[in-house]
Amino acid sequence: MSASAIGYRIRERRRELGITQVNLADRLGISASYMNLIESNKRAVGGTLLAKLAHLLELETDILTGAVERRLSDDLRELPADPLLSHIRLEPDTANELVARFPDWSRAMLTLYRAYLDNNQSVAMLSDRLNRDPLLQESVHRMLTHISSIRSSAEILNDVADLEPTRRTRFVSAIHDESTQLSEAAQHLVSYFEQGDMGNRSMAATEEVDDFIIANNNYFAKLEAAANELRRSFDTQGRRNLGGAVSEFLQNRLGISIDIIDSSSDEKLTAGYKNQCLFDRNRKRLAFLANAPSTTRRFQMIRAAALETSADLIDVLITDQRLSSSESRERARQALASYIAGAVILPYDQFLEDAEKCRYDIEILRQKYDAGYEQVCHRLVTLRDPRAEGIPFAFLRADPSGHTSKRFPQFGFPLPRYGHACPLWNVFSAFQTPFRVARQLAEFPSGRRFLMISRTVTKRAGAFHSQPVLFAVMVACDVLHADRTVYSDGIDFDSPGTATAVGPTCRLCARHECSHRQEPAISILGE
């Protein structure tokens, strides 16, 4: 069902609730004939009228407008790209119809598909472990050596009739020793497997958290309010920076100690550190690696404070039905705490005003707020308050291998949910010019054009022998909004050839002749 079918949805829901058309029109303050035109899809509906309609029909706006179904439909369109389904002629465009007619079946199909991908990932990980894990390889080799020894000695005992008694005793003893060692090696191997934690990242859990955030359009009004309240709690009087006030708040008000750990410490000591930081809520201890920059320390301190002060609010938010497992809920908890931290450092109204004023110049914004580049990009994505919206940006973070580790889609921007993105996106070429902002006008096969702004960011190394972690971060907006940004300056949007012909991901891309193609497109995309 297309967006234009909103009228049918209104009529259907009105009838479900037993409200007459006249009555609904009356409550909306519009004429019955106008109401009829809306229900017949002959008049558009939006703004306050849409909000009022949603309220009267007791539905979320997204459901009424079909945004939820569109997202579901977009997700389903990626199924035909899977080689498993390549022999079935699945027309991507019929996903809309399927979702419109059988929304619950569609959700069930998507849930199963994600579970399938999750399991595939686990199998690949286990397979990789069996093939590459050095400890496992050594154990297997050791066991096979013991078996070889036992077999060799046994063959001698069996085959050599004139074996001297002393030699016979030695070979029997060897079999005994080797079989004992073989048993120990086998037990060691079993206990190794029983450790359980394979360190895998459940795709289902991350997908669910993605869905949860997307369903909220990357914006949480209640968290914004919590962030404002938390910011007020920090005593910034007479201080030049927020960091000092937060540190004091954590230690004096919340009783959380803050430690700095030598970055070159034994790996066992620094295990579990994520983003150069480890927060132990039970022990009320926040520890940083010494190489964590001040922006990271401030962000993580606020995040720790948010986990404590907004625990109840976060608990309520993560009861969302989209988060089906404890792992999903825990991931969502961490994501929401990060959201609050971002909102404390970059207060919504002020940040939006500044962003508009400097035309979304990320460098200027990060200087003004003394924030990290990625923090600013991430905050830009959340400027979706319906009362005061910023430019709708999509966000992607990739590592040099092409693996994407963070994604925030916006409607219309084809961020692939599974697999790799198009290698022509400048988020990947950004690694060739580290720390320089790269911009790219990208045109998708659909004809839609987006302005992509990418730059590398790094987590600095802790010592000479350690490797700094490098990522590239991209924000992208529809070309319709590009002129509101400084990144459009000097680009001739009307000149043919300015835009780079890109795709979403090879399997979903109709540019069959593309020399950068890594894998074939699904055939139903047309020749």
- Which residues contact another protein (rule: CB under 8 A)? 131, 137-138, 140-142, 144-149, 151-153, 155-156, 159-160, 167, 170-171, 174, 177-178
Residue among 394, 427, 77 at smallest CA distance from 213? 394
By beta-carbon proximity to another protein, the closer residue of 125 and 174 is 174
Residue among 437, 425, 432, 375 at smallest CA distance from 400? 432
| Shortest separation between residue 153's beta carbon and another protein, angstroms | 5
| Shortest separation between residue 125's beta carbon and another protein, angstroms | 18
Alpha carbons 428 and 408: distance in angstroms, whole number: 17
Encoded tokens for 40: 């017949």
By beta-carbon proximity to another protein, the closer residue of 136 and 480 is 136
Residue among 403, 379, 385 at smallest CA distance from 475? 379
By beta-carbon proximity to another protein, the closer residue of 147 and 480 is 147
| Shortest separation between residue 128's beta carbon and another protein, angstroms | 13
| Shortest separation between residue 169's beta carbon and another protein, angstroms | 12
| Shortest separation between residue 193's beta carbon and another protein, angstroms | 17
| Shortest separation between residue 328's beta carbon and another protein, angstroms | 37
| Shortest separation between residue 75's beta carbon and another protein, angstroms | 38
Q: Which long-range contacts (C-beta less than 8 Å, at least 24 apart) are formed by 260-268?
A: 260/287, 260/288, 260/289, 260/290, 261/287, 261/288, 261/289, 261/290, 262/289, 262/290, 263/289, 263/290, 263/291, 263/461, 263/462, 263/463, 263/466, 264/462, 264/463, 264/465, 264/466
By beta-carbon proximity to another protein, the closer residue of 151 and 436 is 151
| Shortest separation between residue 158's beta carbon and another protein, angstroms | 10
By beta-carbon proximity to another protein, the closer residue of 85 and 172 is 172
By beta-carbon proximity to another protein, the closer residue of 174 and 364 is 174
| Shortest separation between residue 163's beta carbon and another protein, angstroms | 9
Sort 523 into a burial class: Cβ within 10 Å, 0-12 / 13-18 / 19+.
exposed
Residue 253 is classified by DSSP as I
Q: Tell me if 375 sits within 8 A of 366, measured CB to CB.
A: yes
By beta-carbon proximity to another protein, the closer residue of 145 and 334 is 145
By beta-carbon proximity to another protein, the closer residue of 193 and 435 is 193
Residue among 448, 428, 426 at smallest CA distance from 439? 426
Q: Where are the alpha helices (DSSP H) in 194-289?
A: 203-215, 221-233, 242-248, 267-270
Q: Tell me if 498 sits within 8 A of 491, measured CB to CB.
A: yes
Residue among 438, 364, 370, 369 at smallest CA distance from 398? 438
Residue among 347, 369, 392, 314 at smallest CA distance from 231? 347
By beta-carbon proximity to another protein, the closer residue of 186 and 469 is 186
Q: Is the dihedral of CA 346, 385, 397, 514 positive or negative?
A: negative
